[in-house]
Chain A
Amino acid sequence: MGCLIILKSITYAQRASGLLSRLRIPSSIIKPPVSLGKGSCSYALKIKYGDMKKAVDAIRGANIPISGVYTLEEGYYREVTA
């Protein structure tokens, strides 16, 4: 199961990705469906489900605003409160 962390801009996604990389959490930057960005264009970090909590805490700790967190299971996205 994967996880998507939605961020408002490519710059936020890049900064967050760099932050996770320093914490040895692998991530890739993707364009998520518009619906996951609350109807706006955004970028997402795709990470492993097991890294979700640590990643979200780190990103929030760096004051990078998160627009949403979703799990991806069998092709379906489900918003979670991380």
Chain B
Amino acid sequence: MIYFDSAATTLQKPSMVLRAVEAAMIGCGNPGRSGHKAAMTAAKTVYECRELIAELYGMAEPERVVFTQNATHALNIAIKSQLKGGGHAVISGYEHNSVVRPLEMMEGVEYTSVSTPLFDPDAAYEGMTAAVTDETKCIICTHISNVFGFVLPVERLDAFCGEKGIKLIIDASQSAGVLPLDMSKLKNTAFVCMPGHKSLYGPQGTGVLLCGNTDKLYSLTEGGTGSDSKNLRQPDMLPDLFESGTLNVCGIAGLAEGMRFIAKTGLGEIEDKERRMMKRLASGLKEIEGVTVYYDRINHCGPLSITAEDIPSEEMCRRLADKGFCLRGGLHCSPLAHRSVGTIEEGTVRISLSYFNNTREIDLLTAEIRKIMSEEDY
């Protein structure tokens, strides 16, 4: 099996991730509830992970790192905090349904989706900033499109939000563990949302909400936090406000090892390796007749989409799966992105790498797609 579906979840993890999950299952109690050894071991495990994430993102206060179930959970907290009571949001034309669906469901909330050309960050910036009105409370923007790997100009949008007195929410689902973000410089970013199980190499069931410069914090779930227990109201301090109930300590233990792997390897090395492999893949695929490759040398990072003439994306993925390749076809839960690019009817074949892929695997995939296309008489 050759795995190219890391934009959904990374399958190959650093070996220490697995060991840490097992160790936590054996040795970790419930953090923040008791003072015995098992509880304190769990608390140490969780806090170390907070510190590692805070360090990677330039945050001085680890308590502003909140653990969630996944990026969708984090985005729901972020969006519902920022837009509680209604208001207007501007979103890019490349947002995932985990942004669009909460907006659709919120009463009194309106949003403008700004469709702009692929791999044109200037157009995305101009379009989104032009859509801001006096009613706009926030801009919500993905750092990297989960379909096309388009890197959006979130730093410039943060600066714009400062000029307008509004907030930015960043969906870092595809960039976390690959591209840097410095929260100490993102002065107008209220929240950054990310999964733990993709390029941070943690287990599934882990997500992270970074709480930046905002006082609009609204819990979706209330309950026991192990703190301020006499108070019948939810505590307003972080991370307790957003972490009711028992945490996924085993998952967080694994995530901590994923974070240590990233710190040891270096974001720059990870990005360079993935970009080199992606350039090789895109170059190879572009030579195949009938294949359209959505790639840009500068403004692309992460997932690569292709379409094949006369072969629907799901059919291409099925044929590749028969040969042992794991890829995803269809719309990737991002219809807006496909409307922006014009691939909404059949979707795309998405090829997404991790640090653990290699050039041999890329060449094998390229050769298999070439073979499939030749069988179609191209």
Q: Is the CB of B237 within 8 A of A40?
A: no
Task: Tell me if A11 is interfacial: C-beta within 8 Å of chain B.
Answer: yes
Q: Which among B43, B63, B227 is the interface contact of A42 at CB below 8 angstroms? A: B227
Q: Is the CB of B63 within 8 A of A11?
A: yes
Q: Is the CB of A10 within 8 A of B230?
A: no
Q: Which among B31, B61, B229, B235 is the interface contact of A10 at CB below 8 angstroms? A: B31
Task: Tell me if A61 is interfacial: C-beta within 8 Å of chain B.
Answer: no
Task: Tell me if A48 is interfacial: C-beta within 8 Å of chain B.
Answer: no
Q: Is the CB of B228 within 8 A of A41?
A: yes
Task: Tell me if B149 is interfacial: C-beta within 8 Å of chain A.
Answer: no
- Total CB contacts across the A-B interface at under 8 A: 62
Bound form: Cα–Cα A40–B225 in Å: 11
What are the interface flags for B37-74 relative to A under an 8 Å C-beta threshold, 1 for contact and 0 otherwise? 00010011001001100000000011100000000000
Q: Which of B220-235 contact A (CB under 8 A)?
A: 225-231, 235
Q: Is the CB of B227 within 8 A of A38?
A: no
Task: Tell me if A21 is interfacial: C-beta within 8 Å of chain B.
Answer: no
Chain B residue with Cβ nearest A63: B61
How far is the CB of B153 from the nearest CB of chain A, in Å? 32
Chain A residue with Cβ nearest B35: A31
A39 in contact with B230 given A8-B237, A15-B63 (CB within 8 Å): yes
Q: Which among A9, A15, A29 is the interface contact of B240 at CB below 8 angstroms? A: A9
Task: Tell me if B32 is interfacial: C-beta within 8 Å of chain A.
Answer: yes
Task: Tell me if A12 is interfacial: C-beta within 8 Å of chain B.
Answer: yes
Q: Is the CB of A41 within 8 A of B235?
A: no
Q: Is the CB of B47 within 8 A of A11?
A: yes
Task: Tell me if A23 is interfacial: C-beta within 8 Å of chain B.
Answer: no
A9 in contact with B35 given A15-B61, A15-B62, A15-B63 (CB within 8 Å): no
Task: Tell me if B265 is interfacial: C-beta within 8 Å of chain A.
Answer: no
Q: Is the CB of A9 within 8 A of B32?
A: yes
Q: Is the interface of B mostly helix, strand, loop or mixed?
A: loop
Bound form: Cα–Cα A40–B230 in Å: 5
Q: Is the CB of B228 within 8 A of A14?
A: no
Contacts of B239 in A (CB 8 A): 11
Q: Is the CB of B35 within 8 A of A40?
A: no
Q: Is the CB of A40 within 8 A of B63?
A: no
Contacts of A9 in B (CB 8 A): 32, 63, 225-228, 235, 237, 240
Q: Is the CB of B32 within 8 A of A10?
A: yes
Contacts of A42 in B (CB 8 A): 227-228
Q: Is the CB of A11 within 8 A of B240?
A: yes
Q: Is the CB of A41 within 8 A of B227?
A: yes
Bound form: Cα–Cα A10–B227 in Å: 8
Contacts of B62 in A (CB 8 A): 11, 14-15
Contacts of A63 in B (CB 8 A): 61
Q: Which of A1-19 contact B (CB under 8 A)?
A: 8-12, 14-15, 18
Chain B residue with Cβ nearest A29: B40
Chain A residue with Cβ nearest B36: A31
Task: Tell me if A30 is interfacial: C-beta within 8 Å of chain B.
Answer: yes
Contacts of A11 in B (CB 8 A): 32, 47, 50, 62-63, 238-240
Task: Tell me if B34 is interfacial: C-beta within 8 Å of chain A.
Answer: yes
Q: Is the CB of B235 within 8 A of A8?
A: yes
How far is the CB of A52 from the nearest CB of chain B, in Å? 21
Q: Which among A14, A38, A43 is the interface contact of B230 at CB below 8 angstroms? A: A38
Binding site for B on A (CB under 8 A): 8-12, 14-15, 18, 29-31, 38-43, 63, 65
Binding site for A on B (CB under 8 A): 31-35, 40, 43-44, 47, 50-51, 61-63, 225-231, 235, 237-240
- A-B residue pairs, 3 tightest by C-beta: A31-B35, A10-B32, A9-B227
Q: List 10 A-B contacts (CB under 8 A).
A: A9-B63, A9-B228, A10-B47, A10-B227, A11-B62, A14-B62, A15-B47, A29-B43, A40-B230, A42-B227
